[in-house]
Amino acid sequence: MLHKVTLIPGDGIGPEITEATKRALEATGIKFEWDIGIVGQGAQDKFGTPLPEQILESIKRNKVALKGPVTTPIGTGFRSVNVALRQILDLYVCLRPCKTYRGAPTPFENVDIVIVRENTEDLYIGIEFAKGTNESDKLAKLILETTQTKVREDSGFSIKAISETASRRIVKFAFEYARANNRKRVSAAHKANILKFSDGLFLATAREVAKEYTDIEFEDIVVDALCMRLARNPQQYDIIVLPNLYGDIVSDLCAGLVGGLGVAPGANIGDNIAVFEPTHGSAPKYAGQNRVNPMAMMLSAAMMLRHLGEIKAADRLEKAIAEVIAEGKRVTYDLKLDRNQPAATTSEVADAVIEKLKKQGG
């Protein structure tokens, strides 16, 4: 079967790890028709927008995309392409498995956590008011009138919005994922003890949804306590569902528990569309050096294969990656237990994974 997939190399190191991943995917024997397009700074320079309409149309048409990391300017420039994609395409689930592989540089063993992050609202909804503007002055006055709280005149504002609708569907996804993948427990993280009308709504909705899934264990936990417990005993967690900002932070924490962002895949999923991508950034200072770990994107590609129904190919690809990590010989610098040992290049990692795939046979 031929799978039509939108392929977005991205910025910085994106093109290198995308090429390595494309080679590994094709080595599984699965056939793809790639619809290649650019986003980010390259698209800004060429089309005057970091997210061209033709990319959105391609993803809508193919329903599946594989995407490299994209640079997001800090403080200035265009808003995040990643956030825009999630909001425009209503990719309301950010799915981030964090799993230990033998040979990865971590003191932990047997960690297998899935982060289910709400993707479309919270602080990342992008409603902001800059310091000293008429809009921020009006908001400060409204706050004073309605709450009798005076904020400092030199304040900027970012609005945190959490809805019952978005909370319900992300928690339902977490429970449905648990059922489909033989998972035992869902933990909902929040800060409802302080943020009673936003996180409080998320928590109340999560508790309500949990009543529909009596076969799955449920707990809720304050997010700061969650971080402490993850650092001490991550094996106690199975699936963690969180609002957007906490999910972003906790997913990187969990990636650190299993060896770093170099082995942390991800997917952004809606009702009809899924975009698969590594969770790390574009690392522009390493662009063109052929030295960055492509495994997070390869593992994201394995998630894509499962989404496409190519379960055996996905298992073969993940097994090949795991074998390369366990051997520890042809891995990039971030996976070297001894940093004095020579590290493999991006393309050499791809060669090693492809070699393992060929040894497995069909």
List residues with catalytic annotation.
Answer: 124, 191, 224, 248
> Which of these, 247, 259, 333, lies nearest to 98 by C-alpha position?
259
Radius of gyration of the chain measured on its C-alpha atoms: 21
Beta-carbon-side half-sphere exposure of residue 350 (alpha carbons within 13 Å): 21
What are the Cα distances from residue 180, in Å, to 107, 177, 215? 30, 5, 12
Residue 44: alpha-carbon gap to chain centroid? 23
* HEC-encoded secondary structure of the chain: CEEEEEEECCCCCHHHHHHHHHHHHHHCCCEEEEEECCCCHHHHHHHCCCCCHHHHHHHHHHCEEEECCCCCCCCCCCCCHHHHHHHHCCCCEEEEEEECCCCCCCCCCCCEEEEEEECCCEHHHCCEECCCCHHHHHHHHHHHHHHCCCCCCCCCEECCECCHHHHHHHHHHHHHHHHHCCCCEEEEEECCCCCCCCHHHHHHHHHHHHCCCCCCEEEEEEHHHHHHHHHHCHHHCCEEEECHHHHHHHHHHHHHHCCCHHHCCCEEECCCCEEECCCCCCCHHHCCCCCCCCHHHHHHHHHHHHHCCCHHHHHHHHHHHHHHHHHCCCCCHHHCCCCCCCCCCHHHHHHHHHHHHHHHCC
Rounded distance between C-alpha atoms, residue 205 and residue 187, angstroms: 13
Q: Which two tokens stand for residue 356?
A: 């393992």
